[in-house]
Each structure stands twice: as structure tokens, then as C-alpha cells.
Structure 1
Amino acid sequence: MIDKFVPDIDAALEGIGDGATIMVGGFGAVGQPHALVDALGERGLRDLTIIANNAGGDFGGLPKLIAQGAIRKVICSYPRASGKTAFDALYAQDRIELELVPQGTLAERIRAAGAGIPAFFTPTGAGTQLAEGKEIRIINGRPCILETALAAEFALIEAWEADRWGNLTYRRTGRNFNPLMASAATLTIALAHRKRELGAIDPDAVITPGLFVDRIFIAETTS
């Protein structure tokens, strides 16, 4: 019997070790699996590579991981916040690496990895520092740069509902990067807020099929 629900956060995060590459869903504080990220910060890990839309905000567990020195590299669109964060200090001291990616390009690189597309051309970033060292072609009269797909060993995502097969729904803007990351990781761990019986979720409402989900931790269980 397929049952992807896990009893606790330790079981959900099992196997994540030093040097792991981890995608973290969310757009700002919305759609980020805060409990999973907070628990990750208690594991004493080092040399992590984090792929996320935001990495330098003052919400959730990522700033704590950065302050702990657990993260070696961040791949994101927004590494900074309005106020000073641990990222600013570490980056100024060359103690954390940054790969800055435009938001649409970040989403498409992740989507490409999930779709099995190794690379694509985009005009975004052409003629800027983001194009340095990348292949450039003129397509339809516009310079375009080659961007490679972006995959990870693990994805930590937030969903609204889940059944034991791993089928997921999302609530409003909580959808954001989560479905893309679910398909682009070797092992996907979902934090869900509602546990549903098999068949209770309308198939048309399923955004992430269970094929892409390995473990589910329920933050709040209701029938």
C-alpha cells in the first residue's frame, strides 16, 4: 500500500546531510514550508546549497540557516531584505556564494529540470553582467543567453491538501514555486495543512501528482 505520510519532521528530513542541494518553495513568506526549514536549522548541517526565490528576508528559517553558516551557496532572485540580514554580512566577507537569477529565469530553469529540458535561450539578462560567460545567440533579431536547467537533490515545499499517494493541492498564491520544485528534485518533501482520504481530492484540483512527491508531513490534520 502506498502511503507517503510520515509521522514527524525527523522522518520527513531523513537523509539530508552536509553538502546537500535543497530547493525551498515560497514567494516571500507565502508558500514556504516554515516548519521544515526551521527543523533543518536544528540539524547542524554545513555546506548546503539553497535554491529559493528569497534568501535574505527576515521571515522563516532561511535567515537562521544563513546566520549559522550552514549555507555555502544561495541561488535566488532576492538575496536581500529592506533591513540588514545575516546574508549581507557574510556576503561582504566572501563567506557565502551567490548566484543571482532573474525571477522568471529561475522559475523556467526549475521547470526545465522537471521537464527534462537541459537548457534554453532567453532574452532576459542579455547585455548585463548576468550574461557574462554564457553563450549568446541572436534569435528573431534579439540577443538571447543560454540558461541551464536547475535541479536539486531535495525539495522542501508547502501544499494545502494531500492524500496518501502524494497528490497535492495549493491554496491561492501558496502555489508559486512549489509545483515547479516538486518536479525538479530527486526527493520531494511536502508540508501539507490538510490530510485527505484517497479519492477525496477532485482529480481536476490536483496540481502536483503523487508521482513527484516522496514524503508528506502534516502540519495540521483535519478530516
Structure 2
Amino acid sequence: MDKTVSSAAEAVADIFDGASLAVGGFGLSGVPIWTIRALTEQGATDLEVVSNNCGVDGWGLAELLERGRIRRVIASYIGENREFGRQYLGGEIEVELTPQGTLAERLRAGGVGIPAFFTAAGAGTVVSDGGMPLRYAPDGSVALASEPKELRPFGTFGKNREYVLEHAIRTDFGLVRAAVGDRHGNLRFEKSTRNFNPLAGMAGKVTIAEVDELVEPGVLGPDDIHLPGIYVDRVVVLSREQSADLPIEKTTVRARPAASATGRNENEGAR
């Protein structure tokens, strides 16, 4: 089955208002930016997004966020996205902060049909006890807080301790970015882009993958496939220019020391 589509616009055409999206990427790594931009143009709003973070100011999921198109976010951290922080603290958006490993496992569980699981992460904190602010009121008070979660003791790993019940995440759509894909939807991710992309692809009922390179079925060996095509419904092939459009999150440079007069003379003499 050939799962390629002609454009990102075609791939996102049926994403509806109020849809839930699992989106791959971490910071600027592995973000399905062209699918996000097509969705921005498409106009769907009131979206619920599940992603490690919400992009950075002006790029990634922030392009939807800044236009007021996201209603709720399940994420690990707000990071350095000032607009995300402003909307959260200003009561404009609902945010469920989740430990990073727990978020990854919730997505994976949704993809493999596990409805819930127990984990030690967050047990005995506001994660399990409730009271974490989900939405603020305009005056800064907490308008909506998280509910307590079930705790259960287990004597696993040689000691008895409490674990918190976390529910799987299953979304209407999954949006991912892969280095290589074939026409059957099998995907290979490059290095750190494997962090959340395969999990977001597993969690989506309909998964859209944008790929830097398209190969024919059989070129990717079984050991090279990080997400099988059974999880992928649509493949968007990026142009070389689109693939190369990757900004740098932080540029760290230092001034080059000025060469001494002696050094210049020595270099000139060496010529």
C-alpha cells in the first residue's frame, strides 16, 4: 500500500476543531514543522496537544500556540517558550505537566493497547496527590487543579514502595518527522529525533509522517526500522530545501583572541 500523499496540506485536511494531537520532537530536534505549518494554514483550532514541550518562541508548535489555536497541552516542561509560559500563567491555556519518562510511557502504552500502568515517578508529590495547577485564573489564582491519582504499594525490586497509576494517552492524530521512510510507512529516525517521534506515531489513531528521504519498500532493513508502517497512515516527502530548514536553538560563540603583533610577524614569515 502506497501511503504517500502529495502535500502536507492534503495530509492534514481532515484534522478537525477540538482534535487531539501527539507531536514528536524535543526542542528543535525532530519537529514535524511542515505538517505543523500546513495545519496552521488549514485553520483547525481548539486543539489538545501532547508533546514533550511546545516548541520555542516563533517556531514549531509555538506557531499554533501564538495564534490561539491550542486549548490544552500535556507536556514535560514549558522550557524557554515565553509565550507558552505567558498563556499558562495568564489562564489562556490548560497545561498538564507530566514527568518526561511518564509522558513517554503513556504514549507508548496508548500505542500498544495498555490502558494504564503504575510508576514510581511522581508518587508522593503533587503528581499523585493532586493540586497541580492545570489552569490559572486571570488574577493569578488557580482556576483548575489536578485530581489525586491512585497509589498502590508494591514489593517489587526488593523493597516495598508506593507507585502511582498513570493512564495511557491515545490521540486522534500523530504528527512525526523521520529521516527516512518508505511507501509502506516504515520509518527510521536520526539519533535524538527518536526520543518522542516513534511514541507519538504509536499513540495517534491516524499518524502523519513527514520524511526527509523516501525509499522503496525493502530498502530499509528490519533492524533499521524504528516505527513500523502499521502505525503510519500518511507519508509526506519533503524537498531538500524543506529538510534543510532547521534553525539553531542557541548559538554559543566566543570572541576570537586577537593575534599578537609577534604572532602575525611569525605567521607572515612562515608564508
Fold agreement, TM-score > 0.5: yes
Aligned residue for 1:161, secondary structure, equals strand
Task: Please report how far the alpha carbon of residue 56 of structure 1 lies from its aligned counterpart in structure 2 after TM superposition.
Answer: 5.3
Task: Please report how far the alpha carbon of residue 76 of structure 1 lies from its aligned counterpart in structure 2 after TM superposition.
Answer: 0.3
Structure 1 partner of 2:190 = 171
How large is the RMSD of aligned CA atoms in angstroms?
A: 1.4
Structure 1 partner of 2:150 = 135
The residue type equivalent to 1:111 in the other structure is R
1:95 to 85, 92, 96: 92
1:100-119 matches, within 5 Å, as 100-119=97-116
Against the structure 1 CA distance between its residues 161 and 28, is the aligned structure 2 distance closer, same or farther, given a 3 Å change threshold?
same
Against the structure 1 CA distance between its residues 56 and 25, is the aligned structure 2 distance closer, same or farther, given a 3 Å change threshold?
closer
| Whole-Å separation in 2 of the counterparts to 1:184 and 1:157 | 11
Aligned residue for 2:185, secondary structure, equals coil
Structure 1 partner of 2:218 = 199
Task: Please report how far the alpha carbon of residue 58 of structure 1 lies from its aligned counterpart in structure 2 after TM superposition.
Answer: 2.6
Aligned residue for 1:160, secondary structure, equals strand
Aligned residue for 1:42, secondary structure, equals helix
Structure 2 partner of 1:73 = 72
Aligned residue for 1:68, secondary structure, equals coil
Task: Please report how far the alpha carbon of residue 171 of structure 1 lies from its aligned counterpart in structure 2 after TM superposition.
Answer: 1.1
| Whole-Å separation in 2 of the counterparts to 1:92 and 1:160 | 36
| Runs (4+) off by over 4 Å | none
Point out where structure 1 has 5 or more consecutive residues left out of the alignment: none
Point out where structure 2 has 5 or more consecutive residues left out of the alignment: 131-147, 241-271
Among all aligned residue pairs of Structure 1 and Structure 2, give the percentage whose two residues are the same amino acid.
Answer: 44
Structure 2 partner of 1:122 = 119
Structure 2 partner of 1:46 = 45
Task: Please report how far the alpha carbon of residue 126 of structure 1 lies from its aligned counterpart in structure 2 after TM superposition.
Answer: 1.1
Confirm or deny that 1:29 pairs with 2:25.
Answer: no
| Whole-Å separation in 2 of the counterparts to 1:173 and 1:192 | 15
Larger Rg: 2
| Whole-Å separation in 1 of the counterparts to 2:63 and 2:234 | 24
The residue type equivalent to 2:75 in the other structure is C
Contact 1:56 1:78 in 2 (8 A): no
CA deviation profile, 1:55-104 (whole Å, cap 9, x unmatched) = 152363311211111000000001231xx622222222211000000000
| Whole-Å separation in 1 of the counterparts to 2:108 and 2:60 | 25
Contact 2:30 2:193 in 1 (8 A): yes
Aligned residue for 1:60, secondary structure, equals coil
Task: Please report how far the alpha carbon of residue 180 of structure 1 lies from its aligned counterpart in structure 2 after TM superposition.
Answer: 1.3
Structure 2 partner of 1:63 = 62
Structure 1 partner of 2:265 = none
| Whole-Å separation in 2 of the counterparts to 1:20 and 1:29 | 23
